[in-house]
Structure formats: structure tokens, C-alpha cells
Amino acid sequence: MIDEEFAVKLLSWYKTNKRQLPWRDTKDPYIIWISEIILQQTKVNQGMPYFYKFIEEFPNVFELASASEQKVLKLWQGLGYYSRARNLHFTAKYISTELNGVFPNNYKSIIKLKGVGEYTAAAISSFSFNEKKAVVDGNVYRLLSRYYGISDPIDTSSGKKTFSELAFDILPKNKVNIYNQAIMEFGALQCTPKKPKCNSCPLNSKCYGHLHNITDNLPVKSKRIKIKKRAFNYIVITDGENICLEKRTKKDIWENLYEFPMTEQEHELFTPNKKIINNAQLIKKKSCNHILTHQKISAVFWHFLAKDMSEENFDNIIKINSLSNYPVPKIVENYIKENLLVEV
């Protein structure tokens, strides 16, 4: 089953076609760790600006550890999956205090870090320390399933085991760090999810999916993602200079980010409380949808002009011109930019 030409052809392709990415010019585990956490669930072109911002602001683990969580979340704003940023900050503090700023240098130690799973630990240990660990991400699942004709579902324990074992078995004896970069790059640029470039593929003569015309059917997933539908009612209360903004503290999406006061309730059933009705006038109502991986949020922004913007009438009042100091979800960021004309 193992094709020895597979790795040779991959490495040859990579040498000619690889992208010049900043984290490929170093073996510093801190830099590679930052890049890998940012690139979880994120495409390279979207994550690149965040990588540069983080490395400029936090050039080493001590700088990241000493920053406030609010500052870290603010830099992360717009990238989504905010637990990544919170885990990044937590782990930086752990490495700084418990490990004296020295990043772990092997897979078994790296995988113990908060926010680091099997793929990320394999990536860091192989890229930084050339440890013989196979990376298995979406790109690798796709390429191996198509090339070897594997129909085991990738979202099952048995399927994951099959791919992990195969990925390790085909690792070359040398240049593991380069090979791991190559197989992921190949999946990202050549063996893409839709419209893979099969005609120009150096592996097409032995690719099971290509030869049997089933590339679109691989890899196989056994489960469909269940989408949870939610209705958010945002209460935007402002007098032109001040505005109400509160912190999300529950274990939910966007934990520790800031937003306008919000009630989760079907829009047609929502009614502002008496304090708002007595002290503010509704001047605008705007609806929008926000799609997350497992959730679809239907939001209505109820925009009120306050008659008396005092702490007796409203809670959590801040100056509008200070909004840029607060990390907010993308849906709130968009509303602020479009309706309050403030950069956040």
C-alpha cells in the first residue's frame, strides 16, 4: 500500500511551488506556535495580517504573557474562534512562569499545552525540532484519501486512526520537517477541496481518486454538522457621545468580548424594558445574519437615542470614542463601523 515515490514527488513539487511564508524561515517554536494557532480554522491569506500583528506586538513569550487578556482579544478581533486567543494567552503565561520562558522541545511535552492538539503538537515538534511526527490536518486527510482510495470516514475514531497510521508510515527517513510542510501545501494548493488540479498533478498516474473519477467524493464524512439557530436582540443605547457596552462572561461564543446589551429571544417576542422605553426613543432597527461553523445567528439591532444618558437610567456606559479599546465580535464591529462611523 505504501508508495515510496509519493514522498519523493511531493518534495520535488514543494521545492518548485511552495509559498514564501514568514514562519517557514525560522525554527523558533514560539513563532511557529503563534502561526499554527492562528491558522487553526483559518486560511493563510486571512491569518497572515494577524500573524504580523501578533509578532510585532508580542515578539517573545514574555511579552505575550505580560499583556492583558483584553489586549490579546483586541488583536484577535475578527479572526473568530476566540478560545484560541484565550488559550494562547494562558499558555504563554504558563511557559513564562512555569518553564522560565523555554518552549517544550518534544511532542509529548508540547501536546500538554492548553489549546494544542495532536496536529499542532506534531507541526511544532517536526518544524522546530525535526521530530518524526506526521501532521494530519484537512489537507492531509483529503490528499491521502484520494491518492490511496480510502473511504473510512475522517470524523470517526477508526477513520482517524487509519489516516494517522498511514501518515506516519509514509514519512521519509529524513527531512520530516520539510515533508510535513510539503504535504499540507500540496493539499492547500494542488489537491484542493473543490476543483483539484488533477491534470497537472505529479501524483495523478497512481491516484486512486483520479483514476476512478471519485475525487469529489473523498474524503468521506459520516456526520453532518448540526446548525444551531439563535436570535439575538442588541440594544444600542446612545446619546451621540456615550454608549452602553457590556462584557460577555458566560461560557458561550465570544466569551470575554464586549457587545451592546443583548437579549436572546425570538425577535417578534422581544420588548425593551420600561427603563429603556421611558428614557430613550427608538430611532433605528436593523437586521442581519451572522454565520458561524455550528451556529446561525439572526440579529436585530434596536438603536435608541437616550434622553438622559445617566447611570441612574443605564448601566455600563462608556464614551463612544473609546470603543476602539474594546474587543468586540465581528457582527458588532460591523454595526459600529456602518452606523456609528467609529473605527474599532
For residues 268 and 212, membership in a common domain is answered with: no
Tell me the average pLDDT across 108-128: 98
For residues 179 and 277, membership in a common domain is answered with: no
Q: Residue 20 carries which DSSP code?
A: -
pLDDT at 88 over 70: yes
With respect to residue 262, please indicate whether it lies within any of the assigned structural domains: yes
CATH of the domain at 251: 3.90.79.10
pLDDT value at residue 290: 97
pLDDT at 1 over 70: no
For residue 13, name the pLDDT band (cuts at 50, 70, 90): very high
For residues 18 and 163, membership in a common domain is answered with: yes
With respect to residue 297, please indicate whether it lies within any of the assigned structural domains: yes
For residues 190 and 301, membership in a common domain is answered with: no
Report the SS3 class of residue 74.
Answer: helix
Tell me the average pLDDT across 27-42: 97
For residues 167 and 32, membership in a common domain is answered with: yes
Report the SS3 class of residue 153.
Answer: coil
pLDDT at 252 over 80: yes
Tell me the average pLDDT across 180-205: 97
Find the catalytic residue in 36, 131, 259, 333. Answer: 36
**Closest CA relative to residue 257, chosen from 77, 52, 29, 45:** 77
For residues 53 and 152, membership in a common domain is answered with: yes
Q: Which range marks the domain in which residue 10 is found? A: 4-217
For residue 276, name the pLDDT band (cuts at 50, 70, 90): very high
With respect to residue 223, please indicate whether it lies within any of the assigned structural domains: no
Q: Is 264 labeled as catalytic in the residue annotation?
A: no
pLDDT value at residue 8: 94
Strand 295-306, strand 228-238: pairing: parallel
Tell me the average pLDDT across 114-137: 97
Interatomic CA distance for residues 331 and 286, integer angstroms: 12
